[in-house]
């Protein structure tokens, strides 16, 4: 093959904690990502690793500080993501399909910070699901990538609630 293939990554492990309840936002959904990594993206990925450590040090109730930390780099991250994520079947909180992500920065505007951080892990090949399949452990840990504390949703399905 002349070009590297895309990877389809299940998004079942994309979680967010809202008021002490863990939600699986994209259970049964997936993301297709370009497998190669551009040198021009290294700086923002390094910055995201540093930001993740800073965000992990904050308490859950310090959401505004998380937003402030991310403010300067969200645009750069979305720029990388919209070039690397070629397709997804992600839906919003009501189950409506999100716009196609490839070369479409607007598709990322309705996502939570945790979802963006999760996508950064996927781009790096370090999502929790990929780690379980034999990839090296990630130096990043995130509330967006923590394993479920409990099955907080009594429905057993996907729980959705935008903060």
- Chain segment 45-69, per-residue pLDDT in tens: 677 777 777 777 777 667 677 777 7
Phi, psi of 149 (to 5 degrees): -75, -40
Give the global pTM. 0.69
Residue 129 has a pLDDT of 65
Residue 149 has a pLDDT of 37
* DSSP code at position 114: H
Residue 8 has a pLDDT of 95
Of 32 and 151, which is predicted with more confidence? 32
Residue 114 has a pLDDT of 86
Q: Mean pLDDT over residues 105-119, rounded?
A: 92
Q: Please write the tens of the pLDDT for every residue from 134-143.
A: 543 333 333 3
Q: Mind giving me the DSSP string for 130-147?
A: HHHTTPPPPS---TTTPP
Q: Please write the tens of the pLDDT for every residue from 14-37.
A: 999 888 899 999 999 999 998 766
Residue 103 has a pLDDT of 97
**Per-residue CA distances from 80 to 45, 88, 101, 105 (Å):** 9, 15, 11, 9
pLDDT band at 38 (very low <50, low <70, confident <90, very high): low
Q: Please write the tens of the pLDDT for every residue from 96-105.
A: 999 999 999 9
pLDDT band at 41 (very low <50, low <70, confident <90, very high): low
Residues across the chain: 163
Mean pLDDT of the chain: 76
Q: To the nearest whole percent, how much of the chain has pLDDT over 90?
A: 36
**Nearest Cα to 20, choosing from 59, 68, 65, 58?**
59
């Amino acid at each position: 093959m002349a070009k590297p293939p895309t990877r389809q990554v299940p998004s079942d492990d994309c979680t967010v904690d809202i008021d002490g309840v863990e939600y699986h936002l994209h259970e049964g959904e997936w993301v297709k990502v370009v497998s190669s990594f551009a040198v021009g993206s290294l700086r923002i990925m390094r910055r995201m690793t540093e930001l993740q450590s800073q965000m992990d040090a904050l308490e859950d109730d310090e959401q505004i500080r998380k937003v402030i930390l991310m403010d300067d780099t969200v645009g750069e991250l979305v720029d990388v993501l919209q070039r690397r994520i070629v397709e997804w079947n992600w839906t919003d909180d009501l189950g409506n399909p999100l716009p196609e992500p490839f070369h479409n920065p607007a598709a990322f505007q309705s996502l939570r910070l945790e979802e963006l951080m999760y996508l950064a892990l996927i781009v790096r090949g370090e999502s929790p699901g990929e780690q379980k399949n034999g990839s090296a452990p990630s130096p990043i840990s995130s509330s967006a990538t923590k394993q479920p504390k409990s099955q907080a949703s009594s429905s057993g399905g996907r729980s959705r609630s935008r903060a």
